[in-house]
Structure 1
Amino acid sequence: NHHIRDPRAFKPLVKLTQEGDLASLQSCIHSLGQGSVPAVINKHFGRSGDTLMHYLGVHVEVYNNDYKRPLHEAASMERLDCVKYLLHEGAKVDSLKKADWTPLMMACTRRTLSVIQELLLHGADVTLKNKDGWSAFHIACREGSAAVVLLLLQHSETAWATESKTGRTPLHTAGTRLHTAGTRCEYRPDQADSCGVTPFMDAVRNGHISVARRLLEKHKVKLLSVSDGGGQTGGAARAPGGSNGAERRPGVLVKELRVDVNERATDLQLTALLYAAKEGHSSTIRTLEELGADLHVQDAKGRTALHMASIGQHAEAVSVLLELGLKNCPDSSGTTPQQLRTVTDHMIQSHSNM
């Protein structure tokens, strides 16, 4: 290795590096002997102290086919030293890769506070959203690290005030993973996404009874407000329970959460059953009946669930209610379900004549 001590021996290496001939560079380095490789790689040149890596002249904003920059990679791999170096060399802290993910979003998937803090100190924007409308705060809530969530809130007090393109808030996401994040922000506990799913429903579906109970008791979430497009209400939704992922029966969840399935809401005094009939959710009607819902309940106008299903022309829901024993009785104005629309008339009439 006597020639390694000679500064002139490094000149070919520097030349190959500057020319970008990496194949020849690699061959030349290994020809010096295995023991010489670390010395060559870590050799500092001139007054600047640059290494061969610096001589490569690679731009810090170089990207791959997914537009991922080195900063994205360093953030996702939790490499604080690389993050610091890239930022010092001028890497754009809010650069976007495919699907509009920022380095901060990538870092929030890994929960490393030091990396996230470094990005924030260099001006990373917490409010930016990816193509699905998710912000770094959404992602932090999904990953379930209270420390990361609190760090983002300390950096931006309004980080929580964001919705995805489907109307999901970080509280929806926190309901499935994080038991504390959503309780520190000013969310509306009954806020539904574009599918009608609320944070309460997400909590119940995923077996987080403590979260669901907190929403019920502290934030007064209403069972009525958690009906989704799939025909389930929050109290009736099936959810995996415990660590073994076994499904828990709806009745068990309702009993454990002390949910009153006959609770009324709005000026019309609607119950979950009336609302399910109004929306045509046949499976929910059956489930609520099993849970003890009052089938003959009337709203403020004296309308039954049969009126509600008839108004919406929900033939299947009308059939289910008739099967369960509801009759074609008039409301407070004397209007019967049969008179409301013609689509379900034949079904109601046939049962009336039985």
Structure 2
Amino acid sequence: MPFSMDFQTAQHCVNNNNVAFFKAFSNPEHLLHLRHKKSGDTLLHLCCRCGSETVLIYFLEDLKANLEVSNNDGKRPLHDAAQYSQEGCLSILLNHGAEPNVFKRSDWTPLMLACTKQSLNAVDLLLRAGADPGIKNKDGWNSFHLASRVGNTDILSRLIAAHPEVWDTRSKNLRTPLHTAALHGRCEAISLLLSECGYEPDCVDSCGVTPFMDALRGGHVDIAKVLLKTGKVMVEREDKAGRQAIHQAAQSGQKCAVDFLVQELGVLSTVSSSRSGETPLHAAVKDGQTEMVVHLLNMGADPDAVDCHRRTALDVARACRKDACATAILQWVVK
């Protein structure tokens, strides 16, 4: 066998779980120093990414490899095992004493990464090893926040069972997991969060945005209806900019959400922000939502309505260089 080996060859052997090749290698210490030039990944990282359990055990037990080695992104092998739902490698690392609560550059713990996937077993392994779902990253997100974004109710229930108060958290901009689940359209998760946790359905973040607003901004009318059934949601509530849900739905181009607000809940398509005077038509123009502009005009939006700066939607379209929106307004006006 040769005395040295390049990373690409070693990677091929790891991918094929070829432990016999490594055992026959004449310079095993060399293997522990191999790294990918750009990422800084070691062979342990590769094992945990592709699930090469036999090779991983060989490195840990025969070569006494450092299981807490980091790549250039601050990721340890445990991060990769969690991120790629490699439950066997995850179990091996934890049984060998891997620290479950380490950060990857202040952003992610292994449990956070596991909660972005669908492997309840991976989450359970980490929790039983002492992983803390209440730990927050630099943005103030904990594992429950991230699980709410994915919406796996089994994982959410497991986190609550392990730490009953884990749901009671806010990010640095005061967003709750209820906001997160609403924005990302996780209807089953919303039902669980409302029934098992103590969220106020109309809670606000630092911008005054509610989960109801977030749901409609994402076009998730089904979630908006679930929130309304609590009887604790103000349909025409304003955020700190004085905008209602219809402004946000218009700006994101969600026609189904606008139709729901106007046709089923009686919200006016011409309603103005109490602070800026903007109408939903102004909001749609700002983000270049041409189809929404036409839709609002057909619903009765007033193209002559002005904001607090005395600007019509056409003025805003020209100022923001939203040429398609400007053309749509002009064509509608001359009909």
| Alignment equivalent of 2:186, drawn from 178, 195, 203 | 178
For residue 95 of structure 1, what is the aligned residue in structure 2? Answer: 102
In the TM superposition, 1:278-289 aligns within 5 A as 279-284=275-280
Measured at CA, do residues 140 and 21 of structure 1 come closer, stay the same or move farther in structure 2, by a change above 3 Å? closer
- List aligned pairs for 1:310-349, cutoff 5 A: 316-317=307-308, 319=310
Query: Is 1:235–1:253's contact at 8 Å kept on the other side of the alignment?
Result: no
Q: Does the aligned pair in 1 maintain the 2:169–2:176 contact within 8 Å? A: yes
- Distance in 2 between the 1:42 and 1:198 partners? 49
1:235 aligns with 2:242: no
Stretch deviating more after TM superposition (231-240 or 166-175):
231-240
Count of aligned pairs: 249
Q: CA RMSD in A?
A: 3.6
Q: Does 1:202 align with 2:198?
A: no
Aligned to 2:230: 218
Letter paired with 2:150 = E
Residues 217, 281 of structure 1: CA spacing in aligned structure 2 closer, same or farther, 3 A cutoff?
farther
Structure 1 stretch displaced more, 180-189 or 75-84: 180-189
What's the offset of the Cα at 1:239?
5.9
Question: d(CA) in 1 for partners of 2:247 and 2:260?
Answer: 8
- Give, in whole Å, the separation in 2 of the partners of 1:284 and 1:211: 21
Q: Partners of 1:199 and 1:75 in 2: how far apart?
A: 29
**Where do 5+ consecutive residues of structure 2 fail to align?**
1-20, 35-52, 284-295, 313-335
Matching residue of 1:252: 259
Structure 2 matches for 1:1-354, cutoff 5 A? 13=24, 16-18=27-29, 51=58, 54-175=61-182, 176-181=184-189, 182-184=193-195, 185-227=197-239, 229=241, 232-238=243-249, 247-248=254-255, 251-259=258-266, 276-277=273-274, 279-284=275-280, 316-317=307-308, 319=310
- The 1:101/1:13 distance shift into structure 2, 3 A limit, reads same
Give the greater-gyration-radius structure (CA): 1
Task: Give distance in 2, aligned partners of 1:261 and 1:187.
Answer: 29
In 1: Cα distance, 2:96 partner to 2:260 partner:
55
Structure 1, residues 127-176: CA drift from partner, whole Å, max 9, x if none?
A: 11111111111111111212211111121211111111111110011102
Offset of residue 100 of structure 1: 2.9
Q: Percent identity?
A: 35
- Match for 2:249: what amino acid? R
Instruction: Specify the code of the residue in structure 1 equivalent to 2:118.
Output: R
Deviation at 1:66, TM superposition (A): 1.4
Distance 1:101 1:213, change over 3 A: same
Return the offset for 1:194.
2.0
Question: TM-score scaled to structure 1, two decimals?
Answer: 0.61
Q: CA deviation at 1:110?
A: 1.1
Which position in structure 1 is the counterpart of 2:13?
A: none
| Contact kept? 1:223, 1:261, Cα under 8 Å | no
**Alpha carbons of 1:117 and 1:239: their partners in 2 closer, same or farther (altered >3 Å)?**
farther
Structure 1 regions of 5+ residues with no counterpart?
1-9, 24-40, 44-49, 263-271, 294-314, 322-354
Amino acid at match of 2:232: K
TM-score (norm 2): 0.64
Q: How far apart, CA to CA, are the structure 1 residues paired with 2:264 and 2:235? A: 11
Deviation at 1:55, TM superposition (A): 2.3
Q: By how many angstroms is 1:257 displaced?
A: 4.3
Cα deviation per residue 1:244-285 (whole Å; 9 max; x = unaligned)? x974066512145425569xxxxxxxxx75xx32x2242359
Paired residue secondary structure (1:223): coil
Deviations 1:46-85 (A, max 9, x none): xxxx846522221111111111111001001111111111
